[in-house]
Amino acid sequence: MSLPHPPCKPQPKASGSAGRHNRAAFLARAAFGILGTVTALGAVSGAEPAAGALPSASLKGKRKSKVRRWDVITLGNLSRNRYWGEGDDRGVRSAICTCTVIQGEGFRLIVDPSLAKAEQMTAELDRRTGLKLRDIDAVFVTHEHADHWFGLAHFPEARWLAAQDVAAALNKTHKLPKQVESATGKLFDAVEIIATPGHTLSHHSLRFDCDGVSVVVAGDAVATLDFWRDRRGYFNCVDFDLSARSMNAIAGLADIVVPGHDNFFLSL
């Protein structure tokens, strides 16, 4: 799990007493951020904070929730990553997206099934949850880019769900053996569908509470942690300003963000 990061933009060089003051203030802020995170996680796990510990960061999640657990099934990666020194003009590896299973009272929901080969999807689902493909009741697709629904057909008995315009776009491809249903509001009285436009105009993410923590499964509204820090859309984003605003909105909702192509991280 990644800890919160200090500011990434280059800071002016410190000098003299003002510099020492700034550095001390920076280190104090960084220490508070890390200790606050540890304390908050202790609070979530039920551990008693040590005497004299800093107060917990306030979590946005609610204790009461029908979600029992959630698991990342595949860790995504990008086809090109400017933060690794790669250009936006061509892909240098194949991409898969981060795929998540959310389980709760009466439902098992998979988000953005990423793997095109049935045997791979079967193996990863088993490896991470012990579930079989047929155990999944519903699939939610965040947006119409194919790497987010390569594995949809492996769940023929599940309901296929997406926000209205995403469902329409998927159904128009005529590549799927059955219709994707339009979904709004809350799934299974537990998982909220939230509009997060920018990467695509109809992009939607999911938000839920689990163990008192608010989790946003962001899809490509957040590409990776590096893109999140800079509030930067991926190269194929249709509206970069809108994308940044959606990331700010997610920051206001989430304690944990599951991005579209990276491991999950804290947003406290």
Binding site for Zn ion (CB under 5 A): 145, 220
Rounded Cα–Cα distance for residues 135 and 105 (Å): 14
CB nearer to Zn ion: give 61 or 233.
Answer: 233
Q: Calculate ∠ Cα 28-33-34, nearest 5°.
A: 100
Compute the least distance from the CB of residue 46 to Zn ion, in Å: 37
Compute the least distance from the CB of residue 164 to Zn ion, in Å: 18
Compute the least distance from the CB of residue 250 to Zn ion, in Å: 15
Rounded Cα–Cα distance for residues 266 and 154 (Å): 31
Q: Calculate ∠ Cα 213-209-217, nearest 5°.
A: 90
CB nearer to Zn ion: give 107 or 149.
Answer: 149
Compute the least distance from the CB of residue 18 to Zn ion, in Å: 45
CB nearer to Zn ion: give 40 or 78.
Answer: 78
Compute the least distance from the CB of residue 70 to Zn ion, in Å: 21
Per the CB < 8 A criterion, the answer to whether 37 and 2 are in contact is no
Compute the least distance from the CB of residue 208 to Zn ion, in Å: 21
Residue type, position 35, single letter? L
Per the CB < 8 A criterion, the answer to whether 57 and 254 are in contact is no
Burial pattern 87-111, b for ≥16 Cβ within 10 A else e, equals eeeeeeeebbbbbbbbbbeebbbbb
CB nearer to Zn ion: give 220 or 262.
Answer: 220
Reduced to 3 states (helix: H, G, I; strand: E, B; else coil), residue 175 is: coil
| Residues belonging to the chain | 268
Per the CB < 8 A criterion, the answer to whether 225 and 208 are in contact is no
Compute the least distance from the CB of residue 135 to Zn ion, in Å: 27
Q: Calculate ∠ Cα 158-164-168, nearest 5°.
A: 80
CB nearer to Zn ion: give 124 or 220.
Answer: 220
CB nearer to Zn ion: give 162 or 210.
Answer: 162
Taking alpha carbons only, the member of 191, 265, 249 closest to residue 41 is 265
CB nearer to Zn ion: give 61 or 197.
Answer: 197
Q: Which two tokens stand for residue 64?
A: 């009461």
